[in-house]
Amino acid sequence: MQRLAMDLRMLSRDLSVYLEHQVRVGFFGSGVGLSLIVGFSIAYACYYLSSIAKKPQLVTGGETFSRFLQDHCPVVTETYYPTVWCWESRGQTLLRPFITSKPPVQYRNELIKTADGGQISLDWFDNCNSKFYMDSVTRPTILLLPGLTGTSKESYILHMIHLSEELGYRCVVFNNRGVAGENLLTPRTYCCSNTEDLETVIHHVHSLYPSAPFLAAGVSMGGMLLLNYLGKIGPKTPLKAAATFSVGWNTFACSESLEKPLNWLLFNYYLTTCLQSSVNKHRHMFVKQIDMDHVMKAKSIREFDKRFTSVMFGYRTIDDYYTDASPNRRLKSVGIPVLCLNSVDDVFSPSHAIPIETARQNPNVALVLTSYGGHIGFLEGIWPRQSTYMDRVFKQFVQAMVEHGHELSSM
C-alpha cells in the first residue's frame, strides 16, 4: 500500500508538470489559446453590442411629453447597457436584491389612523440637512410605494431615498398594512385594486406640506396600486407627477407567466410563502372570516389570492379581483404626467400585456420599454452595486418634474 501511494504521488506530480508545460507552451505559447480567447471575446462583444445593448422604446401619447423627456430626462433615450455577464431576465431579477448596496437611511416612523379603525405605518426621511430646499414647507416630497411584500427596507427604496437626498428632497415610504412590524388593528390587509389606504396617505402627506411639490413612485405592486389610484381619480390629485417601475399591467397575464414551471420554482412559490408568512403573523384577526388553514396550503400567488385576498376585499371570484386589479384598464384615465419603466423580458409582466396602444392615446403617459432588465433588475456596469438604470430614470424624472414640470403646461 505504501509503494502504491508513492507511485500515485509520483504519477500525479509528473502529470501536473506535463499539463502545466502543455498549457503554457502548447496552448498559450503557440498563440492558439490566446487567439481563441481574443476571438471569443470579440464575438461576444459584437453579439452584446448588436443584440443586447439597445435604446429603450419610448411610447408617449403626444409630442409634448416626448420632447419634455428628451430635453430633461435624456436617460430614457440613451442606450441601456445591461451587465455584460448577467443580462438575462431571471438572472437580473434574482441577482439584484443580493448584489446592490443598501445605503443607510435613518427613518422617522409615523402611524396614522384609517377610517375603519386600522393604522398605516409611514417611514419618513425628512432630509433636514437639505442644501437646496432648506425650508421644509416647500421641500419637494416623494411618496414611495414598495412591491408586493416589500417595506421601506428594500434596496430599491433605499436607493431612491439616497438619490432624493442628493437632490434635496424629502421622502415618505407607504408601508402596506401589517408588513412593517406594526400591529394589525382590524381584519384587513391590502391589495392593488383597493386604493383607500393610498388615498388616506396622499391626503395626509399633502395636508402636512400643501406648498411642497408632491410626487410619487411605485415599484411592482406599488406601481399597480398607484396607477389604479390615478386612473380612478384622474387629474383631481395633489400629486404633480408619478413614476412606476416593473408594473404588472394585466394580472391574468402576470399570473399565467409566473405559473410556468421554471418561474413558479424561482419566484412564485417563494412569494407565496412570503405572503402566507405575512398574514399568518396576524392569523387571529382573520379566523372568523377566512379559512386560514386553507390559505396556508396555497402553492401559488393565484391560489393565495383566491383563498385570501379576493375574500378579504369582498370579490365574488378571483377573476373579478384580477380584472379590477389590472391597471391597464385605467391607464386611459390618468390625468397627470406618469412615466412607466418596464422591461419586455420581465417574467412578472409579459410584454404582450403592456398597453402600448392605450398609452399612445393618453398625452399624460410615457412608457419606457427596455429589451432587458428583468423585474426590478435593470443592472448595468461590470459590477452593478451602486446604481441601476432604474435608479437613473427615477432621479432624472423626478428632478425634471420638480424643476421643469411647469413647461409641460406651457408647451
Q: Is 62 exposed, middle or buried (0-12, 13-18, 19+ CB in 10 A)?
A: middle
Cα angle, residue 23 at apex, residues 22 and 29 outer, rounded to 5°: 90
Q: What is the mean pLDDT of residues 360-375?
A: 97
277 is catalytic: no
**pLDDT band at 32, cuts 50/70/90?**
low
Structure-block grid coordinates of residue 83: 451587465
Question: Does residue 303 surpass a pLDDT of 50?
Answer: yes
Q: How far is CA 361 from the centre of its chain?
A: 25
Q: Which residues pair with 192 in a beta bridge?
A: none
Gap between the terminal Cα atoms of the chain: 90
- pLDDT at position 50 is 86
**pLDDT band at 23, cuts 50/70/90?**
very low
Which domains are present in the chain?
51-250+327-408 (3.40.50.1820), 252-325 (no CATH)
| Selected catalytic residue, list 123, 197, 305, 346 | 346
305 is catalytic: no
pLDDT tens per residue across span 106-126: 999 999 999 999 999 999 999
Question: Does residue 16 surpass a pLDDT of 60?
Answer: no
| Selected catalytic residue, list 343, 375, 387, 391 | 375
- pLDDT at position 2 is 43
Q: Which phi-psi region, left, alpha or beta, contains residue 361 (left: φ > 0; alpha: ψ -120 to 50)? A: alpha
- pLDDT at position 5 is 39
pLDDT tens per residue across span 152-205: 999 999 999 999 999 999 999 999 999 999 999 999 999 999 999 999 999 999
14 is catalytic: no
| Selected catalytic residue, list 220, 310, 326, 387 | 220
